[in-house]
Amino acid sequence: MNIGAAAKLSGVSAKMIRYYEEIGLVPPADRTTSGYRDYSTPDVHQLRFIRRARDLGFSVAEIATLLGLWRDRTRQSADVKRIAREHVADLEGRIAKLQDMVDTLKTLADTCHGDERPECPIIRRLEGESVAPEVR
Amino acid sequence: MNIGAAAKLSGVSAKMIRYYEEIGLVPPADRTTSGYRDYSTPDVHQLRFIRRARDLGFSVAEIATLLGLWRDRTRQSADVKRIAREHVADLEGRIAKLQDMVDTLKTLADTCHGDERPECPIIRRLEGESVAPEVR
DNA sequence: GCTTGACCTTCCCATGGTTGGAAGCCTTAC
DNA sequence: GTAAGGCTTCCAACCATGGGAAGGTCAAGC
């Protein structure tokens, strides 16, 4: 099948399929005599695997490892589990950072009048003035 | 003062100061006769403002708006508050997505033996097989 | 006054993952 | 035969940041 059909079936855009091939995440696709990329059902499965891993936030580098483990019938589930756990730790670190921002901003926004007056704890905080004493 | 001193005082790297000037987030700095950028204390305060806003996850576009409000003595705190709330909503959306990934992966990893055997629910999930029936 | 080292300048490149577009070839349907 | 749509490659952009090269400038020490 053509790249468009493979894209539709796998959920990976044609653009990204070509990109994954270019960076070596997937092997070069077969070509028809006219130069079109030609995909088989297993190819589509592999693309779908990649798509699902991306949806779970795995980086391309991590996916390369996961694909290797997928293809390796003698793989140890411990290896897969370790990658997943490391990835979870990474995600949780990012969540914690974002949550800190949210907490700070919510606190500031809660003490901001939000009316026509210019006085604003959010701006004051960005200016560098401590807003803590405002805690009433 | 030179860009290096401004960088140290503001917490914004010299690279980024030049970049912010290039994209118009800050006005072009004064120059000495020899062409060095020359910064005043208010300049440093502005850079520090930007730095703090970045630390709270605001995009450069949002910061441009915040800087405008900062400079506007007739600003309405409602405008600042609205931007902050929108940003919080954006952050919370990103957190929710990451949290979904974490939840999924944790569930999968918890049911993965993590030993020398190849059987692995994480891989199965990426293959597309539903892992839900595994729920015991 | 000269050397040295630390600073500054501009310019280009790379990151990661994705999208967009342009120019040109191929296929399919009418 | 022609039109539409799919395919090819190549180039650029996003966002924010860092790295580095090549060359000019400044200040301190001798």
Pick among 3.40.640.10, 3.40.50.720, 3.40.1080.10, 1.10.1660.10: CATH of A1-75: 1.10.1660.10
Residue B116, Cβ density class (10 Å: 0-12 exposed, 13-18 middle, ≥19 buried): exposed
pLDDT of residue A135: 38
Tokens of A37: 């990329």
Identify from A105, A107, A130 which residue to disrupt to test chain B contact, counting B C-beta atoms within 10 A and taking the largest count.
A105
Measured distance CA(B70)–CA(B72) in Å, rounded:
5
pLDDT of residue B132: 47
Would you call B101 and A76 a contact, using CB atoms and an 8 Å cutoff? no
pLDDT beyond 90 at A132: no
Give the CA-to-C1' distance from B35 to C4 in angstroms: 22
Q: For the domain made up of B1-74, give the CATH fold.
A: Multidrug-efflux Transporter Regulator; Chain: A; Domain 2 (1.10.1660)
- ∠ CA B62-B53-A97, nearest 5°, is 110
Q: What residue of A is the nearest CA neighbor of B124?
A: A70
Chain B touched by A23 (CB under 8 Å)? no
Question: If you write DSSP's letter for every residue of A102-125 in order, what string do you get?
Answer: HHHHHHHHHT---SSS---HHHHH
pLDDT beyond 60 at A47: yes
Measured distance CA(B58)–CA(B83) in Å, rounded:
9
Measured distance CA(A7)–CA(A3) in Å, rounded:
6
Residue type for position A101: M
H helices of chain B, in order, are 3-10, 14-22, 41-55, 60-71, 77-110, 121-127
Measured distance CA(A52)–CA(A33) in Å, rounded:
32
pLDDT of residue A130: 55
Would you call B98 and A57 a contact, using CB atoms and an 8 Å cutoff? yes
pLDDT of residue B76: 92
Q: How many other CB atoms are there within 10 angstroms of residue B13's CB atom?
A: 14
B125 touches strand C (CB under 7 A): no
pLDDT of residue B127: 87
pLDDT of residue A133: 42
The pLDDT-based confidence of A114 (bands split at 50, 70, 90) is confident
pLDDT of residue A129: 63
Average pLDDT, whole number, for chain A? 91
Mean pLDDT of A114-126: 90
Q: Which of B72, B91, B116 sits opposite A98 (nearest CB)?
A: B91
Chain A touched by B96 (CB under 8 Å)? no
Measured distance CA(A89)–CA(A86) in Å, rounded:
5
Nearest to B44 by CA among B93, B10, B88: B10
Would you call A115 and B77 a contact, using CB atoms and an 8 Å cutoff? yes
In tens digits, what is the pLDDT along chain B, a chain of 136 residues?
Answer: 999 999 999 999 999 999 999 999 999 999 999 999 999 999 999 999 999 999 999 999 999 999 999 999 999 999 999 999 999 999 999 999 999 999 999 999 999 998 888 888 999 999 876 554 433 3
The pLDDT-based confidence of A68 (bands split at 50, 70, 90) is very high
Q: What is the CA radius of gyration of chain B?
A: 24
Percent of chain A with pLDDT over 90: 87
Measured distance CA(A94)–CA(A89) in Å, rounded:
9
Would you call A95 and B91 a contact, using CB atoms and an 8 Å cutoff? no
Measured distance CA(A9)–CA(A45) in Å, rounded:
9
Q: What residue of B is the nearest CA neighbor of A115?
A: B78
pLDDT of residue B136: 34
Tally the residues of chain B: 136
pLDDT of residue B134: 36
The pLDDT-based confidence of A128 (bands split at 50, 70, 90) is confident
Nearest to A69 by CA among B118, B117, B86, B94: B118
Domain ranges of chain B: 1-74, 76-136
Question: Rounded to the nearest 5°, which phi and psi values hold at B30?
Answer: -60, 160
Chain A touched by B77 (CB under 8 Å)? yes
